[in-house]
Amino acid sequence: MDDTRKYRRKQKKRRLLLKTILATALIAILAVGTGAWYIVNQLNDTASSAYQGLNRGEMSELRVEPVDIGKDNFSMLILGSDFREGDSGGERTDTMLVATFNKGDRSIKLTSIPRDTYTEIIGYTEGPFYDKINHANAFGGIDMAIDTVENLLDIPIDHYALARFDGLVDIIDALEGIDIDVTYEFDFKEKSRNVDFTFTKGPTHMDGEKALAYARERKSAESGGDKGRGIRQQQVIEAIIDRAASLSSITRFNDLFDAVGNNLQMDLTFGNIVSLHGYASSIDTIETLQVHTNGQMRPDIYGNNIWYEDAVEEDLYALQQTLREHLELPSDTENELYTQ
């Protein structure tokens, strides 16, 4: 393959990854690009309905002053939830990504956190309490999830967005379906939703219910478990972006705005979203990182043997330093000297 084709493929992958991670700005990509006042006005309403601020206020305790998305380096916690109405217990966030943005370098670092990562859940009890990181939101909501991620990565989390996969049914139906290239054949049955699907290998047009089933699949031999499910969820989001970008009829936007507004929760304002959209076009570099872990069985507080993922200490420290440098924060040593 010649250098030009390699470059084009690399650029295409970068754009696709950026679109996936900035799925919370889905409607902004459409509205701001068209310049149509009707759509921009609807976007403002949608952003308002999805907005949910944090108990801590607009600034992380690890910041000296609030960040301005339009001017400063910042971080964002992106959460994906498989929670559905009728599920027992709190809302666990099975997808956790931290995006750090550096304006000077025009770069993004995307750090994924395995949902079973064993870490201290900040604020759950008076003393230290350890559990899977995806339980933090279930125990204490978004604020506790953010505090826990800040403690794990040693960086401030400036903003967040939570998308519920169950709500994708309405979004996909508003788009009149999406097209996904299914990589293997499997059957999916779920009594609670009264669905029974057979997936065949190859390009497939899916309505909302079928796409949700595809995103939730993890039981067949070829599913790849939770990691494979994460890849399929990414496929679904990418297909939504591609389908939304191809819309030509404005009559479809009402249902789409309603679906997004009802299934997205974030602390981003309309102005923040517009700033994110503008920033997307100037990205030079996107790097993917991960919290490296080793899995093992360990008794929980009730004595049950549970699978946990322990962060590799040396790798975690190096990752913390990388993210702090990307946000142009002092190193942990410099920070300790500064605060003494």
pTM of the model: 0.75
Q: Are 136 and 121 in contact (CB under 8 A)?
A: yes
Domain boundaries, the chain: 51-339
Distance CA 189, CA 311 (A): 35
Query: What CA–CA distance (Å, rounded) separates 101 from 68?
Result: 12
Which residues contact residue 13 at a Cβ distance below 8 angstroms, ignoring those fewer than 6 apart? none
> Dihedral of CA 282/76/218/114: which sign?
positive
β partners of residue 51:
266
What would the pLDDT profile of 46-72 be if each residue is shown by its tens digit? 777 788 899 999 899 999 999 998 889
The amino acid present at 296, given as its one-letter code, is Q
Q: Which residues contact 14 (CB under 8 A, 6 or more apart)?
A: 283, 286
Which tens digit of pLDDT belongs to each residue from 103-133? 888 888 888 898 899 999 999 988 899 999 9
Query: 288-326 pLDDT, tens per residue?
Result: 788 999 989 988 878 889 989 999 999 999 999 999 999
CATH architecture designation of domain 51-339: 3-Layer(aba) Sandwich (3.40)
Concatenated DSSP letters for 128-146?
Answer: --EEEGGGHHHHHHHHHHH
Q: What contacts 108, CB < 8 A, 6 or more positions away?
A: 18, 21, 99, 100, 101, 102, 283, 285, 286, 287
